[in-house]
Chain A
Amino acid sequence: MTSTPSITVLPDEVHAALRAIVGDGAIVAHPDELIVYECDGFTIPRARPLAVVFPTSTQQVAAVVKVLAAAGLAILPRGSGTGLCGGTVAVTPSVQVSTARMNKILEIDLPNRWALVEAGVCNLALSDAIAGSSCHFAPDPSSQRASTIGGNAATNAGGIHTLKHGVTVNHILGLEVVLSDGSIHIVGGPHGQVDGPDLVGLLCGTEGTLGLITRVWCRLVPKPKAFRTALAVFESTPEACATVADIIAAGIIPAAMEMMDGAMIRVAEDAFHFGFPTSAQAVLLLEIDGLEAGLDEELSAIEAIARRNHVRDFQGGSDPQRRAELWAARKKAFGAIGRISPSYCTQDACVPRSRLPEVITHIAQICTRHQLRVTNVFHAGDGNVHPVLLYDEAQPDEVRRVLAASGEILRYCISIGGTLTGEHGVGIEKLPYMRDMFSPDDLRAMHRIRRALVPDDAFNPYKVLPRDGVTVDLLHPRRDGGEIAT
């Protein structure tokens, strides 16, 4: 793949071969139509693929993969494009293989709590399909109205309610994947993976670099029997962070524990009128779930911890309408940022939870030094910080400062025992920082796994694992200098 010459249009013979597999109307190759496929939710790096193909079955995927591999073109798996690390950016001449038309729920077995779905099924569609039952699909990334379950598995997506119930990998029983030789493999299934190494666990989170996920066996779990939500209002972000650390240290695991800082509170309130206190410097949004009989006692314990950390106001409740509004406001918060900034970049480090107070302070200092505005809305209970760096993408200097500040934030978080990404993934965005977290030996071990399953490097080349002597420029990501003709 590294020696592929610059190609700017999909070769006719490849186009014809793909059309023979998926039919007319299932290939997008016009440069104008490809603009929407030049990036994902991380909009700084942009490079258009040669085409996007929309297969409708595993067999079509396998056939498409064979054609593209034989042509020496990179294969970029794509769900709904809601990724946040440049995972689908075409850094080499590439064709995106979209699962958008593989969107059928194939089987639901509620008594045994599993479902089999095609990779392109939207996250929320599965829970909607079983809305009348006592079960749901637990992973709930903020993108769940759009993101696909295949994409959730490929990125091991997190979400608001993963603190207690686990991230996507904890809710995947089995996968069907197509490798770069077009072979189809099933690991796990309705019983989960019954023997041998945890290949389901390995494949989840590899960001489409080891294969293309075509079907997913999902674990369904009971909906919470009862819940309480709480809004804790603070005069300072460090006190809110200290409350989070103390709750975890007390052995309490809320279903969700989210934080918004002052700037984000005001943005969200302006947009959604939830009733957030706009004079506050931080709010904690909490949810505990479980048996009705124990919830008030647990909520009281949490309130006591918050009071020890000087909470200004603490409002608990069990109103399902209020709960729905609370989480809707939280999940839409990112969308409201456009009210205060033309562009924003969300970082995604994760740190030991006891370090949260100092981390938030340090992030603010870094952004001040780079003359950037920053706001925070994040999964505090997981220690998963999401500093949102505000900028104008029309100002190249601001873009450069955003990238520099992002790097400093990630390196600082790694230095205190954290990780460079909690849930968004590495993609191309965080490649430079992988060497801060992993030794050359660690990375070699990962490369060996990649070569074992993708010897031709056909899937998502240059993503996730850094290569010696290779730098992917986020402002000019095409490595061959080529660009799609317009």
Chain B
Amino acid sequence: MPEVSTTRLLRPTVVEEFAAAVRTAAADNIQVQLTGSASLPRVQFDPQRSVQPISTLRCNKVIEHAVSDMTVIAQAGISLEALQQQLAWHNQWLPVDPPALAGRSPVQRTLGGLIATNSLGPLRYKCGDWRFLMLGMRWIDATGTLIKGGGRTVKNVAGYNTPRLMIGAAGTLGAIAEVTLRTFARPADEQCLVMFCSGPEQAQEIIAATMAAPLEPAYIQAIGGQGFADNLLQLPVSPLILVVGFLDRPHLCAGQIATLRALPQLAGVEALAQTAAQAGRLRLWMTSGPPGLLHFRLHALPSQVAGLITALQAAAKVAHARCQVVAEAGQGVLRGTLIRGDHAAAGVFWQSAQDLATQHAAELVLLAADPATGIAPHHGDARLYQRLKGAVDPANIFGNLATTIR
């Protein structure tokens, strides 16, 4: 991306001040770069225009926690960790465990940034996505006006749900200022079972059996053995590792682990049960990818996950590189990082990844690439996005989303 000239970082502390900052920039035809714990990735600014960076980090308060209604209103700049701490006072939580971004710990990421990048982790399998978790929002449009959408009730079909337009838009359609969310009772326990599989066929059988079994997993993760070798937990290495976790009362977690172990597909498979602390660390590790040349997501079907992990890692090997892949197997979402290899290897690998996506009717999304690789986002069918962008931000105050959009 070409260099753009930026001005002094603004750090508003209330949403009205935040809106005024956008309004001032827009009046001067200056673009606005929104930052939380890190800059929002994949937003392209016009190199001919100045950019006003605005940080949400001081807009970080819980406005209202309606404990008995199980809802909370919080400002966009609050970190996930700070929000969870406040909810925990009343034994509640927000069941999200997003991946790290730009080297920052996942829990340091801001609420607004998480929604703007549609970041979620393994818990999405049981606990739902932002579309489910988010009830309402106040957001700032390209004229610096505060807009309310949705509400604070758990059902609401009044008018257009403009907050949903902010999910995954990377702040290019508006700035998230304040969010109303569902909250949930904190689970009493978390336990998981780590299974070391001999290969993709065995792993896929176990994934399918787990999804069909009388269980309620909170997450079903699959990890390519190459990547897992670097983990800090010092667990054994195998070609493919599965992690199935449960959130519930202790005896219900233990009962589900026992049911899982008893599945015929697990006969002969080495498996280690993990306690709450271990499971929590493992879940955090699974969302915290290392730095690398390429970061991408591959959206496939659950039945394709194990095969695709193996194929991606094989493709990296052919390119004389190495790829870490962790998948939300129950969702069919693979996250990959090319962690070794030169820029040429990255190109070879990326071509293979694109071929794999085509063969499997899967969708490949480039999240970030070392500029030296020359790999750029592929522009898919963005017609609707462009029409909406033209309507809600005709002066392109918030920048454009570089993305693959179906």
**Contacting B160 at CB < 8 Å: which of A191, A198, A464?**
A464
Cα separation A196 to B170 with both chains bound (whole Å): 8
Given contacts A421-B158, A452-B390, contact A225 B69 (CB under 8 A): no
Give the total number of A-B pairs whose CB atoms are below 8 A apart: 238
Given contacts A291-B216, A379-B155, contact A166 B164 (CB under 8 A): no
Measured CB to CB, the nearest residue on chain A to B392 is: A448
- The answer to whether B147 and A445 touch across the interface, beta carbons within 8 angstroms, is yes
Given contacts A134-B212, A384-B155, contact A352 B164 (CB under 8 A): no
**CB of B356 within 8 Å of the partner chain:** no
**CB of B297 within 8 Å of the partner chain:** yes
The smallest C-beta distance from A152 to any residue of chain B, in angstroms, reads 12
- The answer to whether A194 and B132 touch across the interface, beta carbons within 8 angstroms, is no
List A residues 222-257 near B (Cβ within 8 Å). 222, 225, 245, 248-253
- The answer to whether B404 and A453 touch across the interface, beta carbons within 8 angstroms, is no
- The answer to whether B157 and A205 touch across the interface, beta carbons within 8 angstroms, is yes
Q: Which of A67-75, A368-376, A435-443 contacts B (4 or more CB under 8 A)?
A: A435-443
Main secondary structure of the interface of B (DSSP, over half): mixed
- Chain B contacts of A425 at CB under 8 A? 157
Measured CB to CB, the nearest residue on chain B to A192 is: B299
**CB of B101 within 8 Å of the partner chain:** no
The proximity string for B residues 168-203 relative to A, scoring 1 for CB distances below 8 Å and 0 otherwise, is 110001000000000011000000000000000000
- The answer to whether A426 and B70 touch across the interface, beta carbons within 8 angstroms, is no
- Chain A contacts of B166 at CB under 8 A? 197
Indicate the size class of the contact surface on chain B: 35 or more
- The answer to whether A352 and B69 touch across the interface, beta carbons within 8 angstroms, is yes
Q: Which of B48-56, B235-243, B250-258 contacts A (4 or more CB under 8 A)?
A: B250-258
Cα separation A426 to B157 with both chains bound (whole Å): 8
**CB of B152 within 8 Å of the partner chain:** yes
- The answer to whether B391 and A449 touch across the interface, beta carbons within 8 angstroms, is yes
- The answer to whether A293 and B251 touch across the interface, beta carbons within 8 angstroms, is yes
- The answer to whether A248 and B69 touch across the interface, beta carbons within 8 angstroms, is yes
The proximity string for B residues 366-399 relative to A, scoring 1 for CB distances below 8 Å and 0 otherwise, is 0000000000000001111101101110000000
Kindly name the residue among B153, B162, B382 whose own CB sees the greatest number of chain A CB atoms within 10 A. B153
Measured CB to CB, the nearest residue on chain B to A188 is: B406
- Chain A contacts of B392 at CB under 8 A? 445, 448-449, 452
Cα separation A438 to B310 with both chains bound (whole Å): 51
Measured CB to CB, the nearest residue on chain A to B167 is: A198
- Chain B contacts of A452 at CB under 8 A? 387-388, 390-392
Indicate the size class of the contact surface on chain A: 35 or more
Q: Which of B3-11, B300-308, B336-344 contacts A (4 or more CB under 8 A)?
A: B300-308
The proximity string for A residues 424-464 relative to B, scoring 1 for CB distances below 8 Å and 0 otherwise, is 11100010001001110111011011111100000000001
- The answer to whether A196 and B302 touch across the interface, beta carbons within 8 angstroms, is no
- The answer to whether A195 and B405 touch across the interface, beta carbons within 8 angstroms, is yes
- The answer to whether B301 and A448 touch across the interface, beta carbons within 8 angstroms, is no
**Contacting A465 at CB < 8 Å: which of B66, B159, B256?**
B159
- Chain A contacts of B161 at CB under 8 A? 201-202, 204-205
Given contacts A350-B155, A350-B156, contact A186 B303 (CB under 8 A): no
- Chain B contacts of A421 at CB under 8 A? 156-158
Cα separation A464 to B157 with both chains bound (whole Å): 10
List A residues 409-425 near B (Cβ within 8 Å). 417-425
Given contacts A111-B208, A441-B146, contact A449 B363 (CB under 8 A): no
Please give 18 more A-B residue pairs, beta carbons under 8 A apart, in addition to A197-B167, A199-B384: A166-B128, A170-B131, A193-B168, A193-B406, A195-B404, A196-B168, A196-B169, A196-B403, A198-B131, A353-B154, A379-B155, A417-B152, A418-B153, A426-B158, A426-B159, A441-B145, A445-B392, A446-B162
